[in-house]
Amino acid sequence: MVWSLLVANAVILVLCFVVLWALCLKGKDVTPVDSFWAFGMVVMAISSYFLADGLHERKLLLLGLCALWGIRLGSYMLWRWRDHGGDRRYVALLGKAEAQRGWSFAKASALLVFATQAPLLFIVCLPVQLGQVATQPPLGTLAWVGAALSLFGIAFETIGDAQLVRFKRDPANQGQVMTSGLWRYTRHPNYFGDACAWWGMYLIAAETGPGVWSFIGPALLTWTLIKWSGAPTVERKMTKTKPGYADYVARTSGFVPWPPKRSAA
């Protein structure tokens, strides 16, 4: 059951990415892949719900939490794309591939964006796949702790995103660094919330034998957010473009919320 579910989900995911890639070719903009990072995990949760024969209550809990997280984040990313336009990181990445390697937009986007995003998405959402397989045990304390952690994470990142949007809309804040609200306690409330949401879903899955092994999903997500494509990418850009960002970094926690230091070191 485990392998058949994973294979079926992999096929579904590849098909979704191929369709999305074809659509992105028309506008020569791959930014919508960021929205599908969230929506695609919801697709995996839904397909697992219908394909797996696990405990119904656990399946429903995982599906509900994943849908709440994914629809919220995916909709936000979709709005940001429509409001701000294409992501300059992708423009630079694909432009470099064309200039230095002679790759077409189609080839560069397929290999450098879609072929990397798909396996990462599949691995990160392992808790909502493997957690829906087993029929036993019933939901226990660990699952409810996980549900609470996941809801906390979703709320935390939602509030952080809303605070940042409101801050950026104020013309008086142009060129300034967001240092209030949740951003006073962590430089990346959205990333911290993401990690909490997925570690919470892992705890629900971990009550089952197959689900225990899905820890690689939230572990990979946390690593990418802290060490790879998340915080490091944002902070390199912010340090170059925001004069006060270095001071903000010096006094503010990089991930886990913590009271800020009194003065820069």
Lowest-confidence segment of 112-121, 122-131, 240-249 by average pLDDT: 240-249
Interval 13-44: pLDDT, tens: 999 999 999 999 998 999 999 999 999 999 99
| Confidence band for 233, pLDDT divided at 50, 70 and 90 | confident
What are the C-alpha distances in Å from 124 to residues 22, 202, 240?
Answer: 24, 10, 31
What is the pLDDT at residue 83? 86
Q: Which of 42-56, 85-99, 230-244 has the highest mean pLDDT?
A: 42-56
- pLDDT band, very low/low/confident/very high, at 265 (cuts 50, 70, 90): very low
The whole-number average pLDDT for the span 245-265 is: 86
Instruction: Quote the pTM value.
Output: 0.94
Residue 263 confidence (pLDDT): 60
Please give the structure tokens belonging to residue 10. Answer: 């992999």
Write out the two tokens for 33.
């892949």
Residue 234 has pLDDT above 50, yes or no: yes
Mean pLDDT of 253-261: 94
Q: What is the pLDDT of residue 53?
A: 94
**Could you identify the residue written with the tokens 């959205």?**
190
Q: Reply yes or no: is the peptide bond before residue 171 cis, omega within 30 of 0.
A: no
Confidence of residue 185 (pLDDT cuts 50, 70, 90): very high
List pLDDT tens digits, range 29-83: 999 999 999 999 999 999 999 999 999 999 999 999 999 999 999 999 999 998 8
Q: What is the mean pLDDT of the chain?
A: 94
Instruction: Write down the number of H helices and E strands in the chain.
Output: 13, 0
